[in-house]
Structure 1
Amino acid sequence: MDKVSEDRVRATPAARQLLDEIIADHGPVLFHQSGGCCDGSSPMCYPRGDFMIGDRDVLLGTIGETPFYIGAAQYEVWKHTELTIDAVNGRGGMFSLDNGRERRFLVRSDICAIPGKD
């Protein structure tokens, strides 16, 4: 598993509030962004011991004490971005802990400086 040298993920106050509610109900959690279709295109929130982090998953950073991982293929697409996790009205991913809360996590991205580009 790779680690990015700097923290590349942050959260809005709405996302932190939803995350705090989920942690109060389930204990420590983690995020995983796979970039797949359907539910995989949203950041998924799992109990920390229930999701197996793969050797090629990249740890982008943390939101408080909550780690945020991204699949290697998705990282290659998003490696020049900084991610902001937000919470919006709607249903979470089928297996994500935000499901059923009428709010869900959403990723917003901003392009960062690209090394070697002026």
Structure 2
Amino acid sequence: MTERATATEAALDLIEKLKKRHGPLMFHQSGGCCDGSSPMCYPDGELRIGEQDFYLGEIGDTPFYMSKDQYEYWKHTQLIIDVVDGRGGMFSLEGPEGKRFLTRSRVFSEAERKELQL
């Protein structure tokens, strides 16, 4: 099954480290504003998910969401969550680690688009 969101080994390692410190987590791909557009990591339930959010799947056994409006722009791509050195969003849990999550993407193949019914 084609995944809408996936993560690199480095991102998965950081997710596990953050889980040990903070417990269950959640991700939301921000759509801009004060932190730009980046994957934001929160303690599970800290960010209220509503009808206007789209569930993309899980990375590292952690749910990943984005707003439905933003999903319309990204739906033809697989999100690949990576981690790089530097400071990310001020509200995201990885900041004190000197790391930040980063979204990379690739366009789905025709076969993947059919599988996902896009």
Whether the aligned pair in 2 keeps the contact of 1:6 and 1:61 (CA below 8 Å) is no
Q: In 2 relative to 1, CA 57–66 (structure 1 residues): closer, same or farther, beyond 3 Å? A: same
Is 2:59 the partner of 1:75?
no
- Who is 2:94 aligned against? 98
- Who is 2:51 aligned against? 55
CA deviation map 1:17-58 (0-9, x unaligned): 111111010000000012223414110000002110021101
Shift of residue 75 of structure 1? Answer: 0.3
- Who is 2:84 aligned against? 88
- Paired letter, 2:105: S
In structure 1, stretches of 5+ residues that fail to align are none
Query: What's the TM-score, normalizing by structure 2?
Result: 0.87
Q: How many residues align?
A: 112
Whether the aligned pair in 2 keeps the contact of 1:92 and 1:100 (CA below 8 Å) is no
Larger mean CA deviation between 78-87 and 49-58 belongs to: 49-58
In structure 2, stretches of 5+ residues that fail to align are none
Q: SS where residue 95 of structure 2 aligns?
A: coil
Larger mean CA deviation between 79-88 and 34-43 belongs to: 34-43
Query: What's the TM-score, normalizing by structure 1?
Result: 0.87
- Paired letter, 2:87: R
- Who is 1:8 aligned against? 4
- Paired letter, 1:58: F
RMSD: 1.7
- Who is 2:27 aligned against? 31
CA deviation map 1:89-116 (0-9, x unaligned): 0012111101121111000000113558
